[in-house]
Structure 1
C-alpha cells in the first residue's frame, strides 16, 4: 500500500520517499569509502541511526551546516556536494531580495565567567539572524557583532553558564559596563570599571569571586556585551 511504513530490521523506509541527489551522493561516498552510516553519524556527534534516517526516511529534512562541513571534510569534497541545490537557490533568492535581516556569526569561543579558560580558534560555526529593525531599536544597526558562549558562574545571576552573548567589537571609548576582555591567552567576561591611574577593575556579579585589578595595558578589550540569550 502506498505510503505504508515498511519495517526492515532497524530500517524504517517510507515507500513514497524519493531520495534526493545530496542523499544519494552521501550514500555513494560512504559505500566508496567503506564506512557505515552509523559510524559517520558518530563522527558528527549524532546517534548511530541519524544519517540512516536522513538518507532513507528524509528526516531530518536537511543536514545542519556544521554536520555537512564535517562530512565533506571527511570525504575530501566540497560541502556543496552534500547540500540541497534547490534549497540553496531559494535561500540565495530570498537573501538577495531581503535586506531586512542581518546575520551575526556565532564563534566557537567561550568567554570564561569563572577561573578562566583558554580561547579556542575564533572561527564562525553558525549564525544568528536578527531583524534590522530590532537592531536599530537597540542602537546596534552599525555594531560589529559576534556571538560567543559564557563559561562559568562568576557573572551569575546576570550571565549564566552556557548563555550566549552578543559582543559589539566596534571601536569606542571605554566606559563602565560588561565586556569580554583578553588576559594573555584567556578570554573572560566581566564588569570593567576604571579605577584611575591607568588601572582597571574586573568585577564579577557573583560575590564569591573577588575583584581583579590590572593595568589597562595588560588587558585587551575585545568588545562590550550588549545582549544575552539562554535557556530558562
Structure 2
C-alpha cells in the first residue's frame, strides 16, 4: 500500500500550522514562565515590559473571564499560575506584541516575586512523605509469596530510568481570529479539537457553539497532541477576547 504523503513531504508542499497565512494586524504571544519549581506567587512587576515598543498588553490569571482550568482527565492544571507555582516553566503571564521579537524582548523585563517552597525530586522521598499523585494500588494474581518460597535462586536489584519527552518535529502552537458572528476560530495542531473547543469555552465563559476549531497537518504526535496542545491553543483565543485582533 502506497503512503499518500511522502511526495508532498519531500517537496516541502505539506501544509502545517506555521504555513497558515497570517492576517494583517495579527499580534504575537510569548509566555513568561516560572523560574522556580515550587513557591508562593506574590506578584509580577510588568512596568518595564509594558514599555517595550510594540507591546500591546500582558495578561495574567486575573484577566481570565471564565475558569482558570484546562486539566484533561483530572482538573488540576490552570491555564496560568495563580497563587502558587508548581513546576519550573509553569506559564505565569502572556505577552502580546506586534512581533514575536518584541514579545520575547518584553519577557526578559518581567520581574516576578516568588517565595520558594521545598521541592521533592525523588519519588521515593515523595512516597515516604505521602506526596502521591494518586493512592497506591496493588494488582496480584495467585499467591506470589508462596511462589517465591519455592524458587531455587532469587536475584534482586534496582534499576532507574529517567523520563523522556516526545521528539515530535513541529512545536505546539495555534492561531486564532474572530468570526463575524462574535465567536472565535482556532487553528490548532491538536488531535483533540473537541477538548480544545470545550476548554476554550470554559476559559472564555462562552458557549461551545461559539468556538470553531480547525486542524492542519500534524508534525508528529506521539501522544503529545491530546492534552499538551491545550495551553497553546487557548492562549490565542483568550488574547483575542482582550484585543479583538488575530
TM norm. shorter chain > 0.5: no
Higher strand share: 1
> If the length of structure 1 is used for normalisation, what is the TM-score?
0.24
> If the length of structure 2 is used for normalisation, what is the TM-score?
0.23
